């Protein structure tokens, strides 16, 4: 017995490195600390390498691939670093599709490794084979299928480079099993990036900056629109400095919340479908609209005919394809937002004469604030958000699903800082919020992280309750429970003749018992007093907590730009 054991030891130490060992080495070299993964047949060699790496790289085992990729998105949103995902071939890969598309739409850096069947059987409909390359080509910034072990170092390096530079996005690397299980013949050489077709422009054209400076000084009604590009450029401080220096009011997009302090006197709040009256009217009436890193999404613009009809539009974006895509732009500037803002701050610009404009916008803010009416019959969802804001002092990282609760969180959780707001903006993915909050908590173990979710969306990815228990991640889950798919219900009520079609969730699990079955503390609250009583202990508890907040089902998100309407045609601006 003893002899045999010794022999075995010798064998393992001389065993050559596999493609999978190399992959793990390369990930470490890229500075990857956490893997969001789920094993399976085609990635067994990779999991063997993770085992052999003996904890030098952390792997978090989620309960569903969709949960883990949303967690990786939350991680990427908070850190700005790529979230790294591993899934097996076939169903493992197809379960990632929603998250990959979500990351593509919201420009989140991800590097995704999918297993693939061995090269010898690709194309034969082998067990757990799916054409992941074809499936993910339109939803990734780029994708690769590894064809030889020697290519791995270059591909991994390029994947991280592409994901995290320029306009960030998801990059997928499909790894056939014979590559990950194959042996290296020699230690591979240091790879270099070979991407002649990918050279993002990050520095602005000085001439265009001069023109913009000139436009600013001539403007009478200037407005800044601040989007997610300001997050990616880490340019909030510069944006705030520019706004203050020249007294230009700021509208943020949904994803841009926090890029400019919402409680700043120059802040008009969020623009768009459920934005503030002051923000939308400022866009409608302005004579100069300076867009930093927003892509003029239709939920922001409303009917394009009425979007900033009197304005000269300047658009600063690192992605040239976004400029002029939806809104005609007279001042295009292809640049990183920070570079452009720094250049602008260095210009000698005469501040615009905007005193009257600011006064008018101030009046709009005063006269048309966000509103809701308390109801003796139950708890208002808006109030729940305000209560969470109060108890967290507005400093928490907030992740949401999609729908009414998302809009209320955007409206009533006043974000003062960037990278605190995690939401699915472009794709509008239900089930995003809770796992995204887990990813954020993994990235920042000491920060307060709140998942504000709907009862519908939460039921799409609640299986990840296992993770928060297992890792004791102190995520606070607030279910804004109206027993309905609230936004669908709202549209049916307002736009489809009150025909409430399949949008009421007639039966619900007992969320408290559900939490308890995962050994997580759960509370159900039905009114304001109960919520006020429990919230301090919820946030004082050093562990995950679920709060099932029963709110009024009829409550609607206002103000609202109905589909097809212009940005100046809002409904529900006043009680």
The pair of three-digit structure tokens given for residue 47, joined into one six-digit string: 């999991």
Which listed residue (68, 281, 487, 570) is catalytic?
A: 487
Q: Toward another protein, which CB reaches closer, 198 or 469?
A: 198
Q: Is 307 annotated as catalytic?
A: no
CA diameter of the chain: 91
Dihedral over Cα of 68, 487, 417, 450: its sign: negative
Three-class HEC string of 148-217 = CHHHHHHHHHHHHHHHHCCCCCEEEEEEEHHHHHCECCCCCCCCCCCCCCCCCCCCCCHHHHHHHHHHHH
The CB-of-198 to another protein minimum distance in angstroms stands at: 5
The CB-of-45 to another protein minimum distance in angstroms stands at: 22
Contact assessment for residue 412 and residue 269, using Cβ atoms and an 8 Å cutoff: no
Which listed residue (128, 347, 528, 554) is catalytic?
A: 128
The CB-of-133 to another protein minimum distance in angstroms stands at: 6
How far apart CA 470 and CA 84 sit, in angstroms, is 20
Q: Toward another protein, which CB reaches closer, 55 or 138?
A: 138
Contact assessment for residue 216 and residue 246, using Cβ atoms and an 8 Å cutoff: yes
Residues in the chain: 575
Which listed residue (17, 36, 62, 65) is catalytic?
A: 65
Q: Toward another protein, which CB reaches closer, 303 or 414?
A: 303
Q: Is 128 annotated as catalytic?
A: yes
The pair of three-digit structure tokens given for residue 46, joined into one six-digit string: 């990779």
Q: Toward another protein, which CB reaches closer, 155 or 340?
A: 155
Q: Toward another protein, which CB reaches closer, 134 or 186?
A: 134
The CB-of-320 to another protein minimum distance in angstroms stands at: 5
Q: Which residues form the interface with another protein (CB under 8 A)?
A: 133-134, 137-138, 141-143, 145, 147, 162, 195-198, 319-321, 324-325, 328
Which listed residue (58, 127, 203, 513) is catalytic?
A: 127
Q: Is 407 annotated as catalytic?
A: no
Q: Toward another protein, which CB reaches closer, 80 or 320?
A: 320
Q: Is 177 annotated as catalytic?
A: yes
Closest by CA to 106, choosing from 347, 319, 353, 410, is: 319
Give every CB contact of residue 127 below 8 A, 6+ residues apart in sequence. 41, 90, 117
Helix (H) or strand (E) holding 340: helix 337-346
The CB-of-386 to another protein minimum distance in angstroms stands at: 42
The CB-of-148 to another protein minimum distance in angstroms stands at: 12
Contact assessment for residue 361 and residue 249, using Cβ atoms and an 8 Å cutoff: yes
How far apart CA 418 and CA 489 sit, in angstroms, is 32
Which listed residue (177, 312, 338, 365) is catalytic?
A: 177
Give 420's DSSP letter: -
Q: Toward another protein, which CB reaches closer, 13 or 124?
A: 124
The CB-of-171 to another protein minimum distance in angstroms stands at: 9
Tell me the HSE value of 75 on the side-chain side, using a 13 A CA sphere: 27
| Active-site residue list | 65, 127-128, 177, 487
């Amino acid at each position: 017995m003893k002899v045999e054991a010794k022999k075995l030891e010798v064998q393992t130490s001389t065993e050559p490195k596999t493609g999978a060992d190399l992959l793990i080495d390369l990930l470490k070299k890229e500075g990857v600390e956490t893997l969001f993964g789920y094993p399976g047949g085609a990635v067994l060699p990779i999991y063997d390498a993770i085992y052999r790496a003996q904890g030098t790289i952390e792997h978090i085992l989620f309960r569903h691939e969709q949960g883990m990729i949303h967690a990786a998105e939350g991680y990427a949103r908070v850190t700005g670093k790529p979230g790294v995902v591993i899934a097996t071939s076939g169903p493992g890969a197809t379960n990632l599709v929603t998250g990959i598309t979500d990351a593509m739409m919201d420009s989140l850096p991800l590097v995704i490794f999918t297993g693939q069947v061995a090269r010898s059987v690709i194309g034969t409909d082998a067990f757990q084979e799916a054409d992941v390359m074809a499936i993910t080509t339109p939803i990734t910034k780029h994708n690769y299928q590894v064809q030889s072990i020697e290519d791995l170092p270059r591909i991994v390096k390029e994947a991280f480079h592409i994901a995290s530079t320029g306009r960030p996005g998801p990059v997928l690397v499909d790894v056939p099993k014979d590559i990950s299980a194959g042996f290296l013949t020699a230690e591979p050489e240091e790879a270099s990036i070979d991407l002649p077709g990918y050279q993002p422009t990050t520095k602005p054209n000085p001439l265009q900056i001069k023109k913009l400076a000139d436009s600013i000084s001539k403007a009478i009604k200037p407005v800044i629109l601040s989007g997610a590009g300001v997050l990616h450029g880490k340019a909030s401080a510069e944006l705030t400095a520019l706004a203050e220096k020249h007294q230009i009011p700021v509208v943020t997009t949904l994803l841009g919340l926090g890029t400019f302090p919402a409680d700043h006197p120059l802040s008009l709040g969020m623009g768009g479908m459920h934005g503030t009256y002051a923000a939308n009217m400022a866009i409608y009436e302005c004579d100069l609209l300076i867009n930093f890193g927003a892509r003029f999404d239709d939920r922001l613009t409303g009917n394009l005919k009425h979007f900033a009809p009197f304005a000269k539009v300047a658009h600063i974006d690192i992605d040239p394809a976004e400029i002029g895509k939806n809104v005609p732009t007279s001042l295009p500037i292809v640049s990183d937002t920070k570079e452009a803002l720094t250049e602008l701050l260095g210009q000698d610009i005469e501040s615009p004469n905007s005193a009257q404009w600011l006064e008018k916008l101030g009046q709009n803010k005063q006269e048309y604030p966000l509103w809701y009416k308390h109801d003796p019959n139950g708890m208002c969802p808006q109030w729940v958000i305000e209560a969470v804001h109060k108890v967290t002092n507005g400093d928490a990282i907030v992740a949401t699903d999609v729908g009414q609760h998302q809009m209320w969180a955007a409206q009533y959780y006043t974000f003062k800082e960037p990278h605190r707001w995690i939401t699915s903006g472009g794709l509008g993915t239900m089930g995003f919020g809770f796992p995204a909050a887990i990813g954020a908590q993994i990235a920042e173990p000491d920060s307060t992280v709140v998942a504000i979710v709907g009862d519908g969306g939460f039921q799409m990815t609640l299986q990840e309750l296992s993770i928060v228990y297992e890792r004791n991640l102190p995520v606070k889950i607030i279910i804004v429970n109206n027993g309905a798919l609230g936004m669908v219900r709202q549209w049916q009520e307002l736009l489809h003749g009150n025909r409430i079609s399949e949008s009421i969730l007639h039966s619900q699990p007992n969320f408290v018992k559900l939490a308890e079955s995962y050994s997580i503390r759960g509370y159900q609250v039905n009114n304001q007093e109960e919520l006020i009583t429990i919230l301090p202990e919820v946030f004082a508890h050093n562990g995950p907590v679920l709060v099932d907040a029963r709110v009024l089902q009829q409550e609607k998100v206002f103000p609202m730009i109905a589909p097809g309407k212009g940005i100046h045609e809002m409904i529900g601006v006043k009680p």
